[in-house]
Amino acid sequence: MMIIGTDYHPGFQQIAFVDTETGDYGEQRLEHREEAEKSYRDLVAHGVRIQVGMEASGHARWFERLMAELNIELWIGDATEIRSKRVRKQKTDRQQTSRNWKPPSATTRRANS
């Protein structure tokens, strides 16, 4: 299974990922909606099981629909709760992605159940 945490912006996504079977992990910036869509479709085409975590955002409806279409498990976390876990208050996309892919908590809801 691949677990992906994404910091979603309308023009790009900053993601952190881990493959739970191989232990491979990394970060990537997906520059445009088309690049993000192609990346997720390619993973699904290769038979990769995926779980995505993201902070709640009003601009991500197309992304939520894509996850549902591809049968990718999507978890959406409460933005306030995610921010409260941060030790330093400096906001960076890298910090957010690493927090978004952690296991769900009581304040996280599954988007496409």
Q: Per residue in 55-88, pLDDT tens?
A: 877 778 888 999 999 999 999 887 777 677 767 6
Report the CATH number at residue 49. Answer: 3.30.420.10
Domain total of the chain: 1
Q: Per residue in 1-34, pLDDT tens?
A: 999 999 888 788 999 999 999 999 999 999 988 9
In the three-class reduction of DSSP (H, G, I as helix; E, B as strand; rest coil), residue 29 is classed as strand
Range of the domain at 96: 2-110
- Please state, in angstroms and rounded to a whole number, the distance separating the CA atoms of residues 56 and 100: 10
For the entire predicted model, the pTM comes to 0.71
Beta-carbon contacts of 50 under 8 Å, excluding residues fewer than 6 positions away, are 1, 2, 3, 4, 40, 43, 44, 70, 72, 73
